[in-house]
Amino acid sequence: MKSPPWPKGKKLVHLDLKGAPPRVEYLHKLIELFSQLGVDGLLLEYEDMFPYEGELRLLQATAQPAYSREEVLSVQELARSKGMEVIPLVQTFGHMEFVLKHRAMSGLREMAHCVGTLNPHREEGVRLVMEMLRQVVELHPGLNTLHIGADEVYMLGEGEESKLWLAAPGRTVEQLFLSHVTKVARAIKEAWPHMTIVMWDDMMRSMSPDTLKASGLVGLVQPMLWDYTPNLTVDKTVSLLEKYHSAGMSELWAASSFKGSTSVYTCVPSTQRHVENHLQWLKVAASLSAGIHLKGIAITGWQRYDHLSVLCELIPVALPSLAACLQTLLHGQFSAEVQSKVAEKLGVSSVEVEVMERISAADPRFPGRRLAEVIVELNAVLNTDDIRFFENNMFVRGWFSPYQRQRRTVTPLITMQIHSQASEYLTILQQKVEAVREEMVQLYPDSTVQEWIEEHVIPVMAPLQRITEDITACVKEMVP
């Protein structure tokens, strides 16, 4: 069933740079593509890829160099030339892992073992956050909007200082959260009075309108309600947005997802899953009361669930998903005609990356397409039962079990057949891996290539390699 197209408001693409940060040349190609797809702005989450200076220099990535000041400026310049707004996202409360993981910053944690949450009672914590923001704002000339994060503030209220604070009559964890965010928002407004402040909404979902009103946060921030699920509950989401509106927050944002929200280790996204999320968001937008001003939607593309988790899907394999989601918003549906438009825009036969075929050999409309293709090919091989469960096949379990290996009581004839099959699979995998490596190094730093291979390929190849080595050792002892 068709919904009205996405109402007036910006369509932002979120680039999560805390994992697999694209080389700046590839970022430029992506911005060109986003412009053709109808994107109005970028939500840039730099984390440790920002070129922090002075006392914050330790926050810069060590696995690969952070972007240079010139590169950060070049991305903005190109985006602006395409009519896109750039909005930096700087975490200021939760998901501070990239800051608080450092021993020098560990005293600012809410709990010693929780490296994500900032202690809200320390003035130096607010000073740290404001210095991070100052450096980011300074490197974004003409900036009008800041996203201050503030989602998933785990373990809040569990620290000793928080427990003392909460011991006073009438104080709650909700108030503790709101007091810190309000303090940060006021400091931002004092430093940059013109600045629009956006924040994630999840920590406020259970709060009453009266609690929100009493916090002093109303009028300072614009909540961004995020839900990435294909079965997003429309009524519940509408009632949440209406609640924020009733508290006096009439300017609101939505956040959907084109990748990085299926599972923490997904390698290849399902376009249909993400399209369904956007179809639900269209229903939400169509159901809101007239007084709510939906400023726009951020189409998120998470690269990690948090700074210390594994890599999610890389951007190239998710570009068909992004294009499909944008066209769904523009048309209010994902009909066969819309699917055909997406495929034509990208120069492919299908929006599902696992079955897409190229229409032409050389097509600049899909930057990174060759990498997407070889990742899909490798992923298909990695997930075949014959390879993934090789150690459980009848011959390995029957003639080369751990018991037999340990005692060298093996049948050379059968074990050599096992060796031959394992070696064949290893050769296929190595060929596919080299094809992926060759394409990936052109778009990503070497550290990303190495991490991706170690996460996705080595765990599958290692058992095959062990078996071939063990068979060689056993047979050498048994055959003169």
Residues marked active site are found at 152
* Residue 366 DSSP symbol: S
Other C-beta atoms closer than 10 Å to the C-beta of 284 total 23
Calpha distance 406→11 (Å, rounded): 61
3-state helix, strand, coil in the chain (%, to 5): 55, 10, 35
Q: Which residues lie below 8 Å from residue 383, measured CB to CB, with a gap of 6+? A: none
Give dist(CA 364, CA 346) in Å, integer. 9
The CA angle 131-134-137, to the nearest 5 degrees, is 150
Contact 222, 189 (CB under 8 A): no
The tokens for 180 are 């810190």
Question: Are the C-beta atoms of 254 and 297 separated by less than 8 Å?
Answer: yes
Residues 28, 315 contacting (CB under 8 angstroms) = no
- How many Cα atoms occupy the beta-carbon half-sphere of 218 within 13 Å? 16
* Gap between the Cα atoms of 54 and 307, Å rounded: 22
Instruction: In whole angstroms, give the CA distance from residue 174 to residue 282.
Output: 30
Cβ atoms of 382 and 447 closer than 8 Å = no
Burial (0-12, 13-18, 19+ Cβ within 10 Å), 199: buried
For residue 464, give the nearest of 420, 427, 430, 426 by alpha carbon: 426
Q: Which two tokens stand for residue 61?
A: 């990535």
